[in-house]
Amino acid sequence: MAQITPIRGIPITALIAEAQRELDMRRQVYWASVRAGNMRQADADKRIALMAAIVKRLTVTAAL
């Protein structure tokens, strides 16, 4: 497994937590945007999937 070193003193657990927070926020905000007709469902799904992949990649790479 690849070793992840903190970026400018930011531990990997903080990066994962922030990415997870962003994912949770996207789920709420994009849902409202789709419902209001300001965003297509396909775009919301893609952006949410991208952030979910980031969370997963960080977590797996950090072996947490």
Residue 7 has pLDDT above 60, yes or no: yes
Write out pLDDT tens, residues 28-47: 999 999 999 999 999 999 99
Sorted by where each begins, the domain ranges of the chain are: 12-61
Cβ-contact 59, 16 below 8 angstroms: yes
Distance CA 18, CA 14 (A): 6
Distance CA 20, CA 1 (A): 21
Mean pLDDT across the stretch 2-13? 74
* pTM for the structure as a whole: 0.82
Token code pair at residue 10? 């930011």
Please state the separation of Cα 58 from the chain's center in Å.
10
